[in-house]
């Protein structure tokens, strides 16, 4: 069912209901301290992706301290429901070798198409492609575009949608909520854009093997896992980082043979004769991963770190990490005052990781960023310094660091309550959780075949991924259209932790349209029943319905201005008229109180 004029409703509601959406709630900020009920709601909005119906009561019954302790030890939490929902996303368990094979096949198809559409001589000059390899004795023929069913069978494309879908499913269904919040944080901290080259085939292993196992371990282990991640090395071009040298004839022959075999092209002359340093990873590991932009390093340190990581690459056949000693700079290096002796190999990079993980600037940078995530956009300096001290005293024990933040007085201060604006991902996931949404197969055979679909990512020139025009967009597509394509932020910085980044009128309208689509069963892969949120309250009692929905979704009172706008926009007037529950539910999901966490 689709209500008439929902776009008009959304725009009107955005003006009337969200005029003060980004103003802090004075009632909580002015209070001396949070109530026990507010503390539970606050914890479920920060250590989890928002409460589901019944969660607040469950945490109140078990005790806040016990819940926090449980979430800090996710290995003790049974998670069968999420595991069952993920079982069908088989690419999440596929090897990088398998996905890389598919990636090369996609490139070959793309080059075939480009060759057929363009000038053969131009393609030979630009890419070294010999058209005769494809069509013996005749002109190149454009291959038929793949059908969506064909795309669904191509694991190197399907893995993108399933990686995104898996992230959403875990955030909605997993009982290990803090673990998922931290995976989201650290994936963004060690950002990789899956649209760059082989990253789309390699990010699955990065998420599974580099990020997830280490979010509550030692920071040095997490940093090392990222440094060895082929996806990270590909994203920041460290596979091109080598000592200045002339490539040998045999090495050139092997490289050209590999390209020719994989892509069916004449690769002669395509492999550069000379290699040299690439500073991209050396710069970002200092500026973004450890010390921070004001961490006290110099451009010379960037160059020296890059030299230490020469030869750190990955095997292009298997997609696994590989250290190529013949490409490593064996000279002496000086990194942040530490001498790294000449004659070393892979251990040069390992020493840099040790230096950076134990550096005082790293403890401060990581502490502040985590405090931004869990407390406020501008966390108190005293809290940051205290948490940085825990980082140093525990040798970067991230479990202890997070515990220090989420048990602090600053975390439970009234000023922190609903002080953060939800990102599109947090908003969509929390809305599904708040309304007890369940995942279903997409409504059409095509989308069921595609499962997660290839959302927001190019498909090497083909048009098989353009499904966003369908009115039954998936949650993933809605998150994309609200401005946060998952695993697809271009800059190495990742999405900013400052939540004010999400403030603009267009984004608010899109959020309200998502809420309306969710409550009207126009989201392709989720179903909700707004009637269950009302319980036994009769829909011909508007004020009671409003109170019930507000408590079910927001878990607290609405501000006077929000309540007045809801009464004006969504409650019927006149005797015997019933409340439009889906519409009212959508507008509460779009309220300032729900948009904040």
Whether 291 and 192 have beta carbons less than 8 Å apart is answered as no
- Give the model's confidence band at 340: pLDDT under 50 very low, under 70 low, under 90 confident, else very high: very high
pLDDT tens track for 22-74? 444 444 555 679 999 999 999 999 999 999 999 999 999 999 999 999 999 99
pLDDT (mean) for 390-417: 98
How much of the chain, in percent, has pLDDT values that exceed 70? 78
- Return the biggest CA–CA distance within the chain: 89
Whether 450 and 147 have beta carbons less than 8 Å apart is answered as no
pLDDT tens track for 385-397? 999 999 999 999 9
- Give the model's confidence band at 577: pLDDT under 50 very low, under 70 low, under 90 confident, else very high: confident
The residues near 78 (Cβ < 8 Å, ≥ 6 apart) are 175
C-alpha–C-alpha distance, residues 525 and 185, integer Å: 25
0.85 surpassed by pTM: yes
Q: Which residue has the tokens 């196992």?
A: 213
pLDDT tens track for 270-320? 567 667 899 999 999 999 999 999 999 999 999 999 999 999 999 988 999
Tell me the C-alpha to C-alpha distance, in Å, between residue 374 and each of 48, 490, 594. Answer: 11, 24, 17
Mean pLDDT of the chain: 85
Predicted pLDDT at 15:
45
Q: Which residue has the tokens 């909700």?
A: 528
Predicted pLDDT at 29:
55
Q: Which residue has the tokens 């309540």?
A: 563
Q: Count how many residues are written for the chain.
A: 597
- Give the model's confidence band at 129: pLDDT under 50 very low, under 70 low, under 90 confident, else very high: low
44: number of Cβ within 10 Å = 23
C-alpha–C-alpha distance, residues 286 and 298, integer Å: 10
C-alpha neighbours within 13 Å on the C-beta side of residue 574: 4
pLDDT (mean) for 473-481: 93
pLDDT (mean) for 120-146: 55
> Environment class of residue 244 by beta-carbon count within 10 Å: exposed (0-12), middle (13-18) or buried (19+)?
exposed
DSSP element (H, E) containing 414: none
Whether 383 and 405 have beta carbons less than 8 Å apart is answered as yes
* Structure tokens that stand for 509 in this block: 């309208």
Assess whether pLDDT exceeds 50 at residue 461.
Answer: no
* Helix/strand/coil for 452: coil
C-alpha–C-alpha distance, residues 1 and 505, integer Å: 27
Whether 410 and 587 have beta carbons less than 8 Å apart is answered as no
Predicted pLDDT at 454:
42
Predicted pLDDT at 128:
56
């Amino acid at each position: 069912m689709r209500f008439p004029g929902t776009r008009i409703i959304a725009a009107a509601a955005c003006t009337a209901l969200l005029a003060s959406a980004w103003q802090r709630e004075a009632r909580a900020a002015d209070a001396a301290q949070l109530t026990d009920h507010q503390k539970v709601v606050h914890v479920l909005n920060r250590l989890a992706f928002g409460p589901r119906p019944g969660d607040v009561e469950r945490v109140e019954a078990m005790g806040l301290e016990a819940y926090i302790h449980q979430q800090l030890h996710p290995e003790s939490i049974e998670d069968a429901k999420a595991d069952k929902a993920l079982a069908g996303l088989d690419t999440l368990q596929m090897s990088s070798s398998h996905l890389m094979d598919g990636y090369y096949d996609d490139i070959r198809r793309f080059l075939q198409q480009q060759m057929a559409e363009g000038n053969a001589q131009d393609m030979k000059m630009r890419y070294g492609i010999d058209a005769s390899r494809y069509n013996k004795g005749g002109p190149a023929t454009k291959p038929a575009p793949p059908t969506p069913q064909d795309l669904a069978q191509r694991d190197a494309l399907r893995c993108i949608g399933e990686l995104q879908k898996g992230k959403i499913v875990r955030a909605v269904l997993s009982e290990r909520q803090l673990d998922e919040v931290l995976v989201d944080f650290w994936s963004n901290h060690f950002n990789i854009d899956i649209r760059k080259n082989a990253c789309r085939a390699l990010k699955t292993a990065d998420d599974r093997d580099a990020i997830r196992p280490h979010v509550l371990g030692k920071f040095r282990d997490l940093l090392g896992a990222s440094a060895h991640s082929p996806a990270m090395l590909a994203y920041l071009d460290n596979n091109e980082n080598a000592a200045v040298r002339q490539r040998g004839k045999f090495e050139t022959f092997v490289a050209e043979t590999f390209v020719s075999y994989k892509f069916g092209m004449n690769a002669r002359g395509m492999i550069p004769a000379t290699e040299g340093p690439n500073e991209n990873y050396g710069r970002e590991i200092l500026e973004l991963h450890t010390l921070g932009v004001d961490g006290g390093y110099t451009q010379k340190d960037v160059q020296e770190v890059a030299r230490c990581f020469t030869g750190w690459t990955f095997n292009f056949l298997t997609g696994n990490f590989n250290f190529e000693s013949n490409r490593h700079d064996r000279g002496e290096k000086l990194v942040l005052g530490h001498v790294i002796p000449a004659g070393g190999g892979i251990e040069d990079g390992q020493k840099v990781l040790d230096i950076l993980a134990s550096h005082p600037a790293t403890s401060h940078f990581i502490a502040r960023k985590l405090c931004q995530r869990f407390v406020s956009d501008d966390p108190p300096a005293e809290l940051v310094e205290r948490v940085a001290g825990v980082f140093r005293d525990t040798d970067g024990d991230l479990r202890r660091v997070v515990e220090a933040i989420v048990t602090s007085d600053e975390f439970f201060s009234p000023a922190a309550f609903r002080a953060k604006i939800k990102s599109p991902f947090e908003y969509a996931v929390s809305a599904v959780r708040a309304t007890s949404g369940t995942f279903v197969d997409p409504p059409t055979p095509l989308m069921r075949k595609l499962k997660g679909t290839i959302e927001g990512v190019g498909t090497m020139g083909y048009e098989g991924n353009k499904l966003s025009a369908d009115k039954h967009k998936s949650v993933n597509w809605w998150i994309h259209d609200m401005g946060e394509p998952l695993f697809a932020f271009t800059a190495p910085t990742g999405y900013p932790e400052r939540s004010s980044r999400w403030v603009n009128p267009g984004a608010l309208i899109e959020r309200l349209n998502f809420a309306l689509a969710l409550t009207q069963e126009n989201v392709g892969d989720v179903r909700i029943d707004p009637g269950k949120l009302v319980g036994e309250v009769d829909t011909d009692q508007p004020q009671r319905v409003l109170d019930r929905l507000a408590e079910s979704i927001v878990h607290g009172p609405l501000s006077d201005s929000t309540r007045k706008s809801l009464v004006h926009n969504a409650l019927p007037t006149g005797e015997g008229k019933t409340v439009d529950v889906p519409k009212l539910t959508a507008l509460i999901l779009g309220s300032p109180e729900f948009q904040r966490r």
